[in-house]
């Protein structure tokens, strides 16, 4: 390209081709040395574009109807043909045909002065800029300045701005003004790998095209044609492997093909082995072996595989990544059976992968995925990555051959229902046992125990019936005397309870007037006199102490329960962290004296 931004790293060329690919003759300025394939086989016509049929159709229609946008935005991953398409558009806009009289055409002739100059990157009206290196407002100002002048030899000045998302905010603003009122002889073609970083004000003034990742089959066919044109023999599996590794990018794939040609040059053929060695895929079958061992829960075998992979220079984190990738592939294979016949899967995945997928369950693979994802993070932060990988493998072997926790508990629960009677504290009225093991390993169990279950008999309408000390506590709560309620629970040990006489042993933390407060509470609640006597006898534990003891007993019973034991044995290293009662005891007991609200209600609703 000529003009303002002539720092493009190297001249480009292309083959003029219809049908099979064909290399273009080298430009006169260039030495006849080896040209990289990506440059040599860069498309020069819309029909040469690989795997972008939708885009080509739309642009062809636009040219046919002479409704060509004044700004295009091409987005897509690297190497799918964004700037290549931009250059074809520049020629299509400016081609004058073999006779010099032609107008804009979707099929530029390739021989007219404009076509040749653009092909040779020396057209004064086709201006290319890489926004990655020129991000400032001054760079854009140069462009805007240039838009004020008529083209020198072309019909249309074409500004190609690559990686446009890299422009600064000021640069975008400057550009926006020109985009809002573009001079008729100006076209912009933008390309970006990160469309989300392009301001919507810019996007809204462009015709946007999303270039797709090129399908593996399409890439493989293209690379095979290029190999043929280069008179290179390459095994089909080798081409497929390159196409897969290219990850949708024609340019990346051709670069890989370049490397493979260099490696296989002396043997005259590029084999699948050469390519898999080059791509680091040689250990692919090892990953399958490793997955086999993990699925079998065979720790020794798993560690041996890791040892040998490590000796061969494999990186522990990469091995785990490969396992993760295989877990994903196997999950897809299980979910989409047709995938087995897809060319996007390597031979090994289609044969051994299918076999493994048939053996494994989706929950198993899901668990493997979770543990591996976590393991990979651990390896990243580990000081001894190798040891960390060992530990992860051991963990995987241990746990992955187990059924999911929920299933296991269900099974064990049924087992224990038949085999042994359950200890009382974790037997609930419904006979249910609930255990949940999360990553924290906490286990919860049903228990009916309720401390404040002493609800006064409802057939004494106006007064509380006090039959036991719990009734006194409930009364304090009902009266909303929370301080007294707390003292009753914590500071009072009952020595004797013979209404209307109660003998108590008070803790040193109890207030001096506690006995008096208790008797006035009782008298107010029962309309009779009570005697509160203080005793030095030990008495029964306070309610709080009793609850604590009960909880400890229930936890012991839960730990001793055969089902819980089985769960603990099955998940090595797990422990009971918390003991939950699923239904909290009712905080406020029903009261037989809750008359005030009802009275009000009655007075409102009773007609008489
Ligand atoms: Zn032309």
Q: Per-residue pLDDT tens for 449-485?
A: 322 233 333 447 456 788 889 989 989 988 888 899 9
Residue 167 CA to residue 159 CA, distance in Å, equals 15
User: How remote is the CA of residue 154 from the centroid of ligand 1, in Å?
Assistant: 11
User: How remote is the CA of residue 459 from the centroid of ligand 1, in Å?
Assistant: 105
The owner of tokens 């680091």 is 280
Confidence of residue 328 (pLDDT cuts 50, 70, 90): very high
pLDDT of residue 71: 96
pLDDT of residue 485: 92
User: How remote is the CA of residue 110 from the centroid of ligand 1, in Å?
Assistant: 5
User: How remote is the CA of residue 37 from the centroid of ligand 1, in Å?
Assistant: 24
pLDDT of residue 462: 52
Render pLDDT for 547-600 as a digit per residue (tens, 0 to 9). 888 888 888 888 888 778 877 777 766 777 767 665 554 444 444 444 444 333
Contact in structure between 91 and 160 (CB atoms under 8 Å): no
Extract the tokens encoding 225.
């044609």
pLDDT of residue 594: 41
pLDDT of residue 12: 38
Per cent of the chain over pLDDT 90 is: 39
Render pLDDT for 144-173 as a digit per residue (tens, 0 to 9). 888 888 999 999 999 999 999 999 898 999
User: How remote is the CA of residue 114 from the centroid of ligand 1, in Å?
Assistant: 6
Q: Chain centroid to CA 32: how far? A: 49
Identify the CATH number of the domain defined by range 37-210. Answer: 3.40.50.300
Greater pLDDT, 445 or 394: 394
User: How remote is the CA of residue 205 from the centroid of ligand 1, in Å?
Assistant: 28
User: How remote is the CA of residue 104 from the centroid of ligand 1, in Å?
Assistant: 9
pLDDT tops 90 at residue 7: no
What's the whole-number average pLDDT of the chain?
A: 80
Greater pLDDT, 406 or 338: 338
Q: Where, residue-wise, is CATH 1.10.8.60 in the chain?
A: 216-278
pLDDT of residue 283: 61
Render pLDDT for 168-190 as a digit per residue (tens, 0 to 9). 898 999 899 899 988 889 999 99
Q: Which CATH architecture has domain 284-400?
A: Up-down Bundle (1.20)
User: How remote is the CA of residue 99 from the centroid of ligand 1, in Å?
Assistant: 9
Residue 204 CA to residue 176 CA, distance in Å, equals 10
> How far apart, in Å, are the Cα atoms of 100 and each of 25, 63, 184, 429?
23, 18, 22, 96
User: How remote is the CA of residue 96 from the centroid of ligand 1, in Å?
Assistant: 5
User: How remote is the CA of residue 91 from the centroid of ligand 1, in Å?
Assistant: 7
Helix, coil or strand: residue 84:
helix
Question: Which among 287, 339, 332 is positioned nearest to 308, based on CA atoms?
Answer: 287
Q: Where, residue-wise, is CATH 1.20.272.10 in the chain?
A: 284-400
Residue-by-residue DSSP string for 512-525: TTHHHHHHHHHHHH
Contact in structure between 303 and 396 (CB atoms under 8 Å): no
Q: Where, residue-wise, is CATH 3.40.50.300 in the chain?
A: 37-210
Greater pLDDT, 191 or 12: 191
Question: Which among 327, 283, 325, 321 is positioned nearest to 305, based on CA atoms?
Answer: 283
Render pLDDT for 249-267 as a digit per residue (tens, 0 to 9). 999 999 999 999 988 877 7
User: How remote is the CA of residue 116 from the centroid of ligand 1, in Å?
Assistant: 7
pLDDT tops 50 at residue 136: yes
Residue 552 CA to residue 330 CA, distance in Å, equals 47
User: How remote is the CA of residue 118 from the centroid of ligand 1, in Å?
Assistant: 9
> How far apart, in Å, are the Cα atoms of 419 and each of 412, 415, 416, 429, 443?
10, 6, 5, 19, 21
Helix, coil or strand: residue 183:
coil
User: How remote is the CA of residue 368 from the centroid of ligand 1, in Å?
Assistant: 58
Buried residues in 493-507 as b, exposed as e (16+ CB within 10 A): bbbebeeeebbbbbe
Extract the tokens encoding 101.
């009289």
pLDDT of residue 148: 87
User: How remote is the CA of residue 111 from the centroid of ligand 1, in Å?
Assistant: 5
Residue 442 CA to residue 412 CA, distance in Å, equals 17
Extract the tokens encoding 94.
């400016």
Q: What is the mean pLDDT of residues 185-209?
A: 94
Residue 236 CA to residue 250 CA, distance in Å, equals 17
pLDDT of residue 203: 95
pLDDT of residue 424: 35
User: How remote is the CA of residue 255 from the centroid of ligand 1, in Å?
Assistant: 29
User: How remote is the CA of residue 139 from the centroid of ligand 1, in Å?
Assistant: 30
User: How remote is the CA of residue 83 from the centroid of ligand 1, in Å?
Assistant: 19
pLDDT tops 90 at residue 110: yes
pLDDT of residue 144: 86
Residue 368 CA to residue 357 CA, distance in Å, equals 13
| Segment holding 360, helix H or strand E | none
pLDDT tops 50 at residue 432: no
Residue 560 CA to residue 555 CA, distance in Å, equals 8
Residue 80 CA to residue 605 CA, distance in Å, equals 79
User: How remote is the CA of residue 119 from the centroid of ligand 1, in Å?
Assistant: 10
In this prediction the pTM is 0.56
User: How remote is the CA of residue 213 from the centroid of ligand 1, in Å?
Assistant: 29
Least confident of 110-119, 204-213, 451-460, 516-525: 451-460
| Segment holding 270, helix H or strand E | strand 269-270
User: How remote is the CA of residue 416 from the centroid of ligand 1, in Å?
Assistant: 85
Residue ranges of E strands in 53-193: 71-75, 126-130, 157-162, 186-192
Contact in structure between 433 and 563 (CB atoms under 8 Å): yes
User: How remote is the CA of residue 224 from the centroid of ligand 1, in Å?
Assistant: 29
Confidence of residue 301 (pLDDT cuts 50, 70, 90): very high
HSE-CB for 275 with a 13 A CA cutoff = 25
pLDDT tops 50 at residue 541: yes
Contact in structure between 221 and 194 (CB atoms under 8 Å): no
User: How remote is the CA of residue 230 from the centroid of ligand 1, in Å?
Assistant: 27
Class of domain 216-278: mainly alpha
Contact in structure between 280 and 244 (CB atoms under 8 Å): no
User: How remote is the CA of residue 126 from the centroid of ligand 1, in Å?
Assistant: 14
> How far apart, in Å, are the Cα atoms of 533 and each of 459, 497, 503?
29, 10, 5
Helix, coil or strand: residue 291:
helix
């Amino acid at each position: 390209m000529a003009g303002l931004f002539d720092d493009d790293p190297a001249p480009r060329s292309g083959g003029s081709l219809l049908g099979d690919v064909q290399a273009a003759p080298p430009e006169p300025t260039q030495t006849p040395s080896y040209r990289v394939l990506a440059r040599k086989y860069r498309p020069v016509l819309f029909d040469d574009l690989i795997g972008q049929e939708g885009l080509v159709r739309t642009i062809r229609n636009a040219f046919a109807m002479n409704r060509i946008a004044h700004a295009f935005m091409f987005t897509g991953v690297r190497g799918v043909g964004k700037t290549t398409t931009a250059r074809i558009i520049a020629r299509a806009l400016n081609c004058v045909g073999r006779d010099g009289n032609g107008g804009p055409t979707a099929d530029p002739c390739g021989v007219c002065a404009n076509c040749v100059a653009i092909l040779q990157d020396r057209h004064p009206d086709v201006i290319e800029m890489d926004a990655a290196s020129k991000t400032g407002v001054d760079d854009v100002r140069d462009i805007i300045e240039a838009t004020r002048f008529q083209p020198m030899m072309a019909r249309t000045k074409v500004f190609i701005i690559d990686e446009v998302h890299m422009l600064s905010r000021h640069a975008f603003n400057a550009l926006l003004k020109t985009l809002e009122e573009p001079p008729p002889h100006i076209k912009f073609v933008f390309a970006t790998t990160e469309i989300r970083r392009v301001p919507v004000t810019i996007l809204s003034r462009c015709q946007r095209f999303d270039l797709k990742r090129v399908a593996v089959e399409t890439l493989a066919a293209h690379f095979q044609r290029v190999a043929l044109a280069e008179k290179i023999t390459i095994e089909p599996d080798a081409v497929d492997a390159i196409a897969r590794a290219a990850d949708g990018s024609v340019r990346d794939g051709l670069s890989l093909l370049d490397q493979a040609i260099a490696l296989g040059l002396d043997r005259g053929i590029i084999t699948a082995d050469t390519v898999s060695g080059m791509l680091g895929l040689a250990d692919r079958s090892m990953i399958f072996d490793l997955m086999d061992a993990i699925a079998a829960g065979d720790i020794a075998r798993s560690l041996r595989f890791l040892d040998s992979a490590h000796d061969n220079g494999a990186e522990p984190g990469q091995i785990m990544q490969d396992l993760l990738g295989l877990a994903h592939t196997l999950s897809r294979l299980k979910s989409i059976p047709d995938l087995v016949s897809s060319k996007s899967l390597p031979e090994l995945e289609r044969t051994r992968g299918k076999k493994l997928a048939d053996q494994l369950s989706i929950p198993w693979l899901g668990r493997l995925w979770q543990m591996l994802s976590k393991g990979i993070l651990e390896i990243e932060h580990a000081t001894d990555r190798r040891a960390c990988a060992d530990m992860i493998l051991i963990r995987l072997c241990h746990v992955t051959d187990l059924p999911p926790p929920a299933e296991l508990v269900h099974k064990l629960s049924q087992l224990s229902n038949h085999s042994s009677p359950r200890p009382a504290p974790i037997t609930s009225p419904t006979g249910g046992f609930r255990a949940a093991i999360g990553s924290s390993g906490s286990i919860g169990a049903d228990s009916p125990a309720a401390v404040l279950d002493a609800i006064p008999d409802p057939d004494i309408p106006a007064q509380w019936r006090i039959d036991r000390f719990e009734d006194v506590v409930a009364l304090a709560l009902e009266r909303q005397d929370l301080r007294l309620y707390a003292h009753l629970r914590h500071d009072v040990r009952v020595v004797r309870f013979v209404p209307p006489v109660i003998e108590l042993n008070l803790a040193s933390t109890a207030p001096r007037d506690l006995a008096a407060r208790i008797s006035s509470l009782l008298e107010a609640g029962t309309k009779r006199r009570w005697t509160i006597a203080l005793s030095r006898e030990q008495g029964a534990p306070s309610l709080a102490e009793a609850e604590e003891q009960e909880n400890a007993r229930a936890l012991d019973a839960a730990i001793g329960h055969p089902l819980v034991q089985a769960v603990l044995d099955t998940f090595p290293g797990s422990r009971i962290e918390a003991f939950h009662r699923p239904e909290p005891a009712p905080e406020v007991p029903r009261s037989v004296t809750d008359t005030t609200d009802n009275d009000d209600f009655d007075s409102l609703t009773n007609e008489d």
